[in-house]
């Protein structure tokens, strides 16, 4: 922002001729005054009476007034008194010119009326020009200071207006930026809310949930996405892959709040008589676009896959997909590991569910289930192959 305007920056003010008022009821005296003051190069205005002089003062300002004392109807003193009564001309210098004798002391009355000088006729032209030139220069300097002050005030007003406009632009830009950020936030919230996968944004340290989409809110009564939901479900139970209960600090949400990054953490939940399985993952979002560091908690609902995996077989599309990947020479490791994780969840292993038997001696129930499973698989293949 530029500094306040200074006088060095102000535009140059051209020097113009100033106005001088010459008042005398005798035309020859006015002619003599004009001839005497013409070398000064100023604007000379003449008046042949006090009333005419007052009319000139209504329309313009003068650097000095040369006023004859003896005039009919209104003499110089009466004219000077009226001049001094006007606010605009109260400070205008007055020079009295008269042919009266010094013995009558009329100059005392002239000085009492505010005259700056009192000259007797006939006067010395050089002396008169010298006296008038002093007042011309004084008036010009005073006018210059006034114009400079006015120019400075106008420059300051323009600078103030410019700064105000710039401030308004900054405020408007900030408003638009904030509005854009809010719209982007609303858009992001709408996108996250529409995603089928449960997601939550967690504030590191405090563990406060900044945002959880609808899928996360409806999963396990919201206990995996909100700390506050645990207080509403006192019967909530959470187990790990080994079947042991999770401590509160070991749940995915507190771990994400501590800044931990993990992948596919299996969690078995039971809330309000309902059960399910999730694979929890956490990732860190660094500071960006004015946002602080945030943890993203993903909760992959694998309840349906768990039910399938607990039967010890996989749906045909999955097996065919694995076979297709192997035929293409592509890596089937991630999918195979996911299947292994699902099958290792609590209660999924055939050795854990049901009664154990001796190796190589399956029970009749298990043999029947296996036969039934093979029959279902053969029927499913015949349907797919037409």
Task: Read off the pLDDT of residues 17-43 as tens digits, 9 standing for 90 and up.
Answer: 999 999 999 999 999 999 999 999 999
The average pLDDT across 350-363 equals 40
- Whole-number Å distance between alpha carbons of 49 and 75: 8
Please indicate, yes or no, whether residues 331 and 235 belong to a single structural domain of this protein.
Answer: yes
The average pLDDT across 221-245 equals 89
Span of 191-195, 223-227, 239-243 with lowest mean pLDDT:
191-195
Q: For 25, which DSSP code?
A: S
Please indicate, yes or no, whether residues 95 and 231 belong to a single structural domain of this protein.
Answer: no
The pLDDT value recorded for residue 132 is 95
Instruction: State the first-to-last Cα distance of the chain, in angstroms, to the nearest integer.
Output: 81
Please indicate, yes or no, whether residues 24 and 131 belong to a single structural domain of this protein.
Answer: yes
Instruction: Label residue 353 by pLDDT band (50, 70, 90).
Output: very low
3-state SS of 285-349?
A: ECCECCECCEEEEEEEECHHHHHHHCCCCCCHHHHHHHHHHHHCCCCCHHHHHHHHHHHCCCCCC
pLDDT at 11 over 80: no
- Taking alpha carbons only, the member of 260, 240, 253 closest to residue 297 is 253
How many other CB atoms are there within 10 angstroms of residue 349's CB atom? 13
The pLDDT value recorded for residue 314 is 53
The partner residues of 288 in beta bridges, in order of sequence, read 291
Please indicate, yes or no, whether residues 327 and 202 belong to a single structural domain of this protein.
Answer: yes
Q: What is the pLDDT of residues 62-119, one digit of tens each?
A: 999 999 988 988 988 899 999 989 888 888 999 998 876 554 556 667 677 768 888 8
Vertex 40, ends 35 and 44: CA angle to 5°?
A: 60
Higher per-residue confidence, 356 vs 77: 77
Instruction: Answer for the pair 67, 80: CB distance below 8 angstroms, yes or no.
Output: yes
The average pLDDT across 261-287 equals 91
Strand-strand pairing, 94-98 and 64-68: parallel
The average pLDDT across 54-64 equals 94
Span of 38-52, 88-102, 122-136, 162-176 with lowest mean pLDDT:
88-102
Among 142, 158, 187, which residue terminates a domain?
142
- Whole-number Å distance between alpha carbons of 324 and 347: 30
The pLDDT value recorded for residue 315 is 53
Q: For 354, which DSSP code?
A: S
- Token code pair at residue 192: 């996250």
pLDDT at 13 over 70: no
Instruction: Answer for the pair 10, 16: CB distance below 8 angstroms, yes or no.
Output: no
- Token code pair at residue 262: 């993990």
Q: What is the dihedral of CA 222, 224, 230, 234, to 10 degrees?
A: 90
Number of domains in the chain: 2
pLDDT at 50 over 90: yes
Please indicate, yes or no, whether residues 336 and 226 belong to a single structural domain of this protein.
Answer: yes
Instruction: Identify the CATH number of the domain in which residue 80 sits.
Output: 3.40.50.2300
Instruction: Answer for the pair 381, 313: CB distance below 8 angstroms, yes or no.
Output: no
Instruction: Answer for the pair 341, 279: CB distance below 8 angstroms, yes or no.
Output: yes
Among 142, 157, 182, which residue terminates a domain?
142
- Whole-number Å distance between alpha carbons of 238 and 223: 10
pLDDT at 285 over 60: yes
Higher per-residue confidence, 316 vs 341: 341
Domain annotation covers residue 127: yes
The pLDDT value recorded for residue 12 is 60
Domain annotation covers residue 5: no
Sign, CA torsion 133/137/138/142: positive
- Whole-number Å distance between alpha carbons of 317 and 339: 14
pLDDT at 278 over 70: yes
The pLDDT value recorded for residue 361 is 41
- Whole-number Å distance between alpha carbons of 163 and 369: 85
- Cβ neighbours of residue 48 closer than 8 Å, sequence gap 6 or more: 23, 24, 25, 27, 30
Please indicate, yes or no, whether residues 23 and 132 belong to a single structural domain of this protein.
Answer: yes
Domain annotation covers residue 82: yes
The average pLDDT across 137-148 equals 89
Instruction: Label residue 312 by pLDDT band (50, 70, 90).
Output: low
In this prediction the pTM is 0.43
- Whole-number Å distance between alpha carbons of 213 and 195: 8
How many other CB atoms are there within 10 angstroms of residue 373's CB atom? 13
Among 142, 159, 186, which residue terminates a domain?
142
The partner residues of 266 in beta bridges, in order of sequence, read 279
pLDDT at 298 over 50: yes
pLDDT at 357 over 50: no
- Taking alpha carbons only, the member of 211, 223, 337 closest to residue 269 is 223
The pLDDT value recorded for residue 14 is 65
- Whole-number Å distance between alpha carbons of 107 and 116: 11
Instruction: Identify the CATH number of the domain in which residue 240 sits.
Output: 3.30.450
The pLDDT value recorded for residue 255 is 93
Please indicate, yes or no, whether residues 25 and 106 belong to a single structural domain of this protein.
Answer: yes
The pLDDT value recorded for residue 359 is 40
Structural domain containing residue 204: 195-341
pLDDT mean across residues, the chain: 80
The pLDDT value recorded for residue 137 is 93
The pLDDT value recorded for residue 308 is 64
């Amino acid at each position: 922002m530029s500094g306040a305007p200074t006088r060095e920056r102000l535009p140059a003010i051209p020097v113009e001729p100033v106005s001088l008022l010459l008042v005398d009821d005798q035309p020859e005296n006015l002619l003599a005054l004009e001839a005497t003051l013409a070398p000064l190069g100023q604007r000379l205005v003449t008046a042949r009476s006090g009333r005419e002089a007052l009319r000139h003062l209504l329309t313009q300002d003068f650097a000095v007034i040369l006023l004859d004392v003896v005039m009919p109807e209104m003499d110089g003193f009466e004219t000077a008194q009226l001049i001094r009564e006007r606010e605009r001309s109260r400070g205008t210098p007055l020079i009295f010119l008269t042919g009266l004798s010094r013995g009558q002391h009329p100059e005392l009355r002239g000085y009492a009326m505010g005259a700056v000088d009192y000259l007797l006729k006939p006067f010395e032209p050089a002396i008169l020009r010298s006296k008038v030139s002093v007042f011309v220069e004084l008036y010009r300097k005073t006018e210059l200071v006034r114009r400079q002050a006015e120019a400075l005030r106008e420059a300051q007003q323009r600078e103030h207006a410019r700064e105000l406009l710039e401030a308004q632009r900054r405020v408007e830009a900030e408003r638009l930026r904030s509005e854009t950020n809010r719209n982007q936030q609303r858009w992001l919230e709408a996108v996250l809310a529409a995603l089928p996968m449960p997601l939550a944004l967690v504030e590191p340290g405090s563990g406060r949930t900044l945002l959880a989409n609808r899928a996360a809110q409806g999963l396990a009564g919201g206990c995996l996405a909100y700390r506050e939901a645990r207080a509403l479900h006192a019967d909530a139970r959470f187990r790990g892959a080994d079947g042991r209960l999770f401590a509160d600090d070991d749940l995915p949400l507190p771990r994400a709040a501590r800044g931990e990054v993990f992948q596919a953490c299996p969690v078995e939940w039971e809330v309000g008589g309902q059960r399910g399985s999730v694979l929890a993952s956490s990732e860190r979002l660094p500071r960006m676009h004015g946002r602080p560091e945030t943890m993203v908690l993903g909760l992959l609902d694998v309840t349906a896959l768990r039910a399938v995996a607990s039967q010890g077989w996989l749906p045909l599309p999955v097996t065919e997909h694995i076979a297709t990947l192997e035929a293409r020479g592509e890596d089937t490791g991630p999918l195979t590991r996911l299947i292994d994780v699902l099958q290792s969840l609590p209660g999924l292993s055939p050795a854990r569910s049901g009664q154990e038997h001796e190796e190589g001696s399956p029970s009749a129930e298990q043999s029947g289930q296996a036969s039934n499973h093979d029959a279902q698989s053969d029927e499913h293949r015949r349907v797919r192959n037409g």
